[in-house]
Structure 1
């Protein structure tokens, strides 16, 4: 019972923080995903150190350099939305990211005990796996005006809507997959990675997430987005969110841990909460910028 109340309380706090950060302003949106990205990157590095002990030997310069580069990359995707003095924050972030990404290998050679291209590759994968997806969500949010005034039947979606919808669709998919799997699940779905997942539950969750998006989009949502966009975004969130969850489960299994962190009592770490979003976000960004804004 104590565990139930702990999980419920932390979930309520999580929802409140997420909604406040996403809806309040462009700055709170950026700050929210900036912090999530930085902490998730640290958890990724922790998993890597458990998977390959060679990575535990990287220099302090390497660890902090990658973190600063990741933070600068996220700042880059704000474009000219914010300014520091008379210069766009996005431009400042771009220069910091370029400098650190160029200097980081040199620092690794000079300051590291043993230079390893493998360790540089691990760090580069962390930026690609964790930082870029959150950066793309930030980019969608900061370019809301482009989406609103695109000719055609896109609608008048505020910039925060699509990132919020991805999170909601992923939640619906996960919840429905659990319910359907509990009721009729028989066929294991990647049992070596996630033994509790079933094929019936996974497919059922995807279908019901798209159905829920279609029903809401048809009756109430077309003033914001055309119906086809509701359906496609839900499909992307369900399919790639499921793959993202399996990918992080594989990393945890390789590392021999149950959770990536302990930031949320009873719910794990940042990677545990946003693993699905990490893979769904890039595909949503591609769809938004090449099909909704074409």
Structure 2
């Protein structure tokens, strides 16, 4: 009972922070995912250290430099938004900080490390691609003025899309759990996630897309055309499931149950955002090129 109460309270706090950050304004959105990126990156590097003990040998310059590079990259994705026409923008500062640190990391590793390891640099670069790039694209999506919704409201699609992705992922995960509990029999990637079933995974995807279709048809057409609701739900369900499996594989390789313990009863930041990490880039591509 105590565990259930703890999980419930932490979940409510998580939902309140997420909704506040996403819906309040552009700055709160950036700060929310800036912090999520910061902590998720640290969890990723902790997993890597468990997977390959050789990564523990990186220098302090490398360890903290890649974190700074990830934070700078998040700033770079804001572009010219946080800055006036006659001042240097946050995005400009972030861009040059990212370039400087990414170029300086290998040089610092060569000069300071006892033994230079190209593999360790690869782990760090992969972390920036795996964690920072998706969150940066979400920020870019939110702040790019040209991304307008198809509909009669003129609502900024970057304002709506991140919230929809999170909702569709939540529906997919919830329905997958319910369907799997009721009729799940066939293991779905048992070597990675033994509790997942094929029936539950497929059922969650179908019901998430169906829910988006029903809402989009009857109420959501004023914000987005029906087909866009379906596509975004499909991206969230399919690639969100892939993202969950990838993170589960990393945890299994690292020999840990959760990526962190920032949320009592729910694990760490990677545990909460693993699905969004894979869904966000596909959603950005779809919105940028088709909306």
Q: TM-score, normalised by structure 2?
A: 0.97
Decide whether aligned partners of structure 1 residues 285 and 154 sit closer, same or farther in structure 2, where only a CA change above 3 A counts. Answer: farther
Matched-pair contact (CA < 8 Å) for 1:156–1:223: no
- Secondary structure of the residue aligned to 1:21 is helix
1:42 aligns with 2:42: yes
1:217 aligns with 2:216: yes
> For residues 133 and 259 of structure 1, what CA distance do their matches in structure 2 show?
21
Matched-pair contact (CA < 8 Å) for 1:156–1:225: no
Which residue in the other structure is 1:264 paired with? Answer: 263
- Secondary structure of the residue aligned to 2:155 is coil
Spell out, residue by residue over 1:206-231, the C-alpha distance to the aligned partner (whole angstroms, 9 max, x if none). 00000000111111111111111000
Matched-pair contact (CA < 8 Å) for 1:147–1:157: no
> For residues 224 and 102 of structure 1, what CA distance do their matches in structure 2 show?
43
Question: How do residues 1-294 of structure 1 correspond to structure 2 at under 5 angstroms?
Answer: 1-83=1-83, 86-143=87-144, 145-148=145-148, 156-158=154-156, 159-292=158-291
Matched-pair contact (CA < 8 Å) for 1:155–1:222: no
Stretches of 4+ aligned residues off by more than 4 angstroms: 152-155
> For residues 157 and 50 of structure 1, what CA distance do their matches in structure 2 show?
45
Matched-pair contact (CA < 8 Å) for 1:248–1:275: yes
> For residues 154 and 184 of structure 2, what CA distance do their matches in structure 1 show?
40
Matched-pair contact (CA < 8 Å) for 1:51–1:254: yes
Matched-pair contact (CA < 8 Å) for 1:241–1:275: yes
Give 1:183 shift.
0.6
CA RMSD of aligned residues (A): 1.3
Matched-pair contact (CA < 8 Å) for 1:51–1:255: yes
Matched-pair contact (CA < 8 Å) for 1:147–1:156: no
- Secondary structure of the residue aligned to 1:79 is coil
> For residues 218 and 50 of structure 1, what CA distance do their matches in structure 2 show?
47
Matched-pair contact (CA < 8 Å) for 1:59–1:112: yes
> For residues 55 and 83 of structure 2, what CA distance do their matches in structure 1 show?
37
Give 1:153 shift.
5.2
Give 1:147 shift.
2.0
Q: Which moved more, 1:246-255 or 1:214-223?
A: 214-223
Give unpaired runs (5+ residues) of structure 2. none
Spell out, residue by residue over 1:217-247, the C-alpha distance to the aligned partner (whole angstroms, 9 max, x if none). 1111111111110000000000000000000
Matched-pair contact (CA < 8 Å) for 2:151–2:222: no
Spell out, residue by residue over 1:126-183, the C-alpha distance to the aligned partner (whole angstroms, 9 max, x if none). 000000000000000001x3122x7x65863333210010000000000000000001
Matched-pair contact (CA < 8 Å) for 1:155–1:225: no
> For residues 248 and 259 of structure 2, what CA distance do their matches in structure 1 show?
9
> For residues 287 and 103 of structure 2, what CA distance do their matches in structure 1 show?
31
> For residues 147 and 125 of structure 2, what CA distance do their matches in structure 1 show?
31
> For residues 213 and 118 of structure 1, what CA distance do their matches in structure 2 show?
43
> For residues 128 and 194 of structure 1, what CA distance do their matches in structure 2 show?
24
> For residues 207 and 115 of structure 2, what CA distance do their matches in structure 1 show?
51
Give unpaired runs (5+ residues) of structure 1. none
Give 1:83 shift.
2.3
